[in-house]
Amino acid sequence: MAPVTALGEEMHALVERLYPLCRSITGDGVRATLAIVDEYIPLQVHEVPTGTRVLDWTVPQEWNIRDAYIADATGRRVVDFAASNLHVLGYSTPVSATMSLDELRPHLHTLPDQPALVPYRTSYYKPQWGFCLAQDTLDALPDGAYQVCIDSTLADGHLTYAEHVVPGQVADEVIVSCHVCHPSLANDNLAGIAVAVFLARRLAEQTPYYTYRFLFAPGTIGAITWLARNAEQIERVKHGLVLACAGDRGQLTYKQSRNGDAEIDRVMRHVLHTSQRPHTVREFTPYGYDERQFCSPGFDLGVGSLSRTPYAGYPEYHTSADDLDFVCAEALADTLAVCGEAFAVLDRNRRYVNLSPYGEPQLGRRGLYDSLGGRSDAKQAEMAMLWVLNYADGEQSLLDIAERSRLPFEAVAAAAGALRDAGLIKA
């Protein structure tokens, strides 16, 4: 893993700023999150009204919360939303009542196997209310009367999502998606947002070939809403990557697209393998993050998912232990670096045609051999030129050639550039 960098620390600082906000699939927490992201990269924010039909779904009512607690007979808050927004079941309907502990128990959610941790739970589409707390806290509560308050609203409003576009040389797009619907979960949510933000800033400093569209949307319903509103232009999306769980100390994990042979799949496999980073490549499954929406059979886009330890693969997942200490600057910087390396390959992966295909052209006469003098990788560079010349048939891409030759993509791309400049190949 790369050493701690100033960039990694900046990304962690963004995670820290976003961590206290109470996010959900709708509401002011999402808007506040996007307002902070907008300080880093300009966003186009979209508000989609409650009741809007989006594919087979309907935009739900908007949920907002101001306060929530369980207080004992002395008025002491034994569970307090102000201490952690995980304490409230997401989308809880309002309640104000006094009840016994036995009456309260059906509304309490704990993790008996992890008794010190608070779970993250939601009820988006079934109106109910509840609290999440540590099993240790629940075990310590005496019988008696408790005051229960959830000061929330569930009313017609909007679903909010945002886009940021980095213009490219062509209109064809790469979509980079992350979810903005989880409350204080630093890895499963905020790390992906941070990597996306800094990746967008890095690409904006370049002149990318593809246009890169960054999507910041609530999970599932947000991606479905975006797809519904962009279905007529979906053919512009040529590649895509979903970012999640991007900041823990585990090794990198890439989940392939539905077909497993999309160009982004091949690029990610090549980059992870040649970089010699510890990693895992997983087959597609119709469960996980929003890659399953982009890869649904009607769209069947070439979209994979990059994480470190995958969802539900670490004990801190969807608990209060997914905190600021669980995410580290080194991992954030490393995930960003991998994305940068992958998109550098994707952006330069072209097909070329050999303009001198009858026999091997004389490279020395064109100064191509002389340009290699003194280079430590001269032999590799020479071999890369020969491989490109032989397979520049208009059908094989540079990635095809790199995989076939077992040479690094960088060497093959550099060889193609030199041969193109010498007039021996053309795109």
Q: What is the pLDDT of residues 143-185, one digit of tens each?
A: 999 999 999 999 999 999 999 999 999 999 999 999 999 999 9
Q: What is the pLDDT of residues 313-357, one digit of tens each?
A: 999 999 999 999 999 999 999 999 999 999 999 999 999 999 999
219 found inside a domain: yes
Examine the pLDDT at 292 and tell me if it is beyond 90: yes
* pLDDT of res. 2: 46
- Same domain membership, residue 119 and residue 20: no
Query: Span 68-85, mean pLDDT?
Result: 97
84 found inside a domain: yes
Q: Show binding-site residues for Zn(2+).
A: 182, 188, 318
* pLDDT of res. 1: 44
Examine the pLDDT at 230 and tell me if it is beyond 60: yes
Among 182, 135, 145, 162, CA closest to 42 = 162
Query: Span 10-19, mean pLDDT?
Result: 98
Which CATH number covers residue 419? 1.10.10.10
Query: Span 394-422, mean pLDDT?
Result: 95
Query: Which residue, 155, 170, 187, sits at the end of a domain?
Result: 155
Cβ atoms of 164 and 124 within 8 Å: the answer is no
- Same domain membership, residue 359 and residue 263: no
- Same domain membership, residue 151 and residue 166: no
- Same domain membership, residue 146 and residue 112: yes
- Same domain membership, residue 133 and residue 78: yes
Owning domain of residue 392: 351-426
Q: What is the pLDDT of residues 87-109, one digit of tens each?
A: 999 999 999 999 999 999 999 99
Which CATH number covers residue 272? 3.40.630.10
- Same domain membership, residue 167 and residue 128: no
Which CATH number covers residue 72? 3.50.30.90
Q: Show binding-site residues.
A: 182, 188, 318
SS3 252: strand
- Same domain membership, residue 276 and residue 179: yes
Report residue 372's pLDDT band, with 50, 70 and 90 as the boundaries: low
Number of domains in the chain: 3
1 found inside a domain: no
- Same domain membership, residue 281 and residue 162: yes
CA atoms within 13 A on the CB side of 25: 24
- Same domain membership, residue 328 and residue 250: yes
375 found inside a domain: yes
Pairing of strands 57-58, 53-54: antiparallel
Q: What is the pLDDT of residues 45-60, one digit of tens each?
A: 999 999 999 999 999 9
Q: 275: how many CB neighbours lie within 10 A of its CB?
A: 16
Report residue 376's pLDDT band, with 50, 70 and 90 as the boundaries: low
132 found inside a domain: yes
* pLDDT of res. 368: 84
Q: What is the pLDDT of residues 196-221, one digit of tens each?
A: 999 999 999 999 999 999 999 999 99
- Same domain membership, residue 247 and residue 176: yes
- Same domain membership, residue 150 and residue 276: no
Q: Residues 6 or more apart from 247 whose CB is under 8 A from it?
A: 11, 12, 15, 186, 187, 190, 191, 194, 195, 308, 326, 327, 328, 331, 332, 335
79 found inside a domain: yes
Cα–Cα separations (whole angstroms), residue 61 to 100, 227, 344, 346, 381: 31, 20, 41, 40, 60
* pTM, to two decimals: 0.95
Query: Which residue, 99, 132, 155, sits at the end of a domain?
Result: 155
35 found inside a domain: yes
265 found inside a domain: yes
- Same domain membership, residue 93 and residue 54: no
Query: Which residue, 155, 179, 209, sits at the end of a domain?
Result: 155
Q: 379: how many CB neighbours lie within 10 A of its CB?
A: 10
Per the DSSP assignment, residues forming a β-bridge with 241 are 176, 304
> b/e per residue, 237-246, with b = 16+ CB within 10 A?
bbbbbbbbbb
Question: Per DSSP, which regions of 50-144 are E strands?
Answer: 53-54, 57-58, 62-71, 77-80, 95-100, 108-109, 131-132
Average pLDDT in the chain: 95
Q: Which helix (H) or strand (E) holds 379?
A: helix 378-391
Percent of the chain scoring above 90 in pLDDT: 93
Examine the pLDDT at 194 and tell me if it is beyond 60: yes
